[in-house]
Amino acid sequence: MELNGKQKRYLRSLAVNIRPIVQIGKSGLSNEILTSIRSACDARELIKVTILQNSDEERDDVAEAIEEMGLNVVQIIGRNIVVFKVAEKKENRKISVDVKNLVR
């Protein structure tokens, strides 16, 4: 789903109050981390990923890897990345309903 400016602004405002779900540490960006990011997005739709200080990963490389999985990177601030994906299960779709209404 391609997001416009208004939708990204709404998602950024929601992301202020959430804590990071996934942390990328010294082991770097592995397949297990990418799988946990995808499963967390399926459950919550909007998550925050943080890159710890002891990690050698660059934030742009992590954001690119997340976008290659088909997820939307909404915002990158410092070592935090806000990620959005419409949930596959209808009972988990709470945020995406509001986001789709912000088309105009």
DSSP of 26-86:
TT-S-HHHHHHHHHHHHHHSEEEEEE-TT----HHHHHHHHHHTT-EEEEEETTEEEEE--
Q: What confidence score (pLDDT) does residue 53 get?
A: 94
Q: What confidence score (pLDDT) does residue 104 get?
A: 63
- Report pTM: 0.90
Q: What confidence score (pLDDT) does residue 97 get?
A: 87
- Per cent of the chain over pLDDT 70 is 99
Q: What confidence score (pLDDT) does residue 102 get?
A: 85
Is the pLDDT at 61 greater than 90? The verdict is yes
Rounded distance, CA 80 to CA 95, Å? 20
Q: What pLDDT digit, counting tens, does each position of 19-57 carry?
A: 999 999 999 999 999 999 999 999 999 999 999 999 999
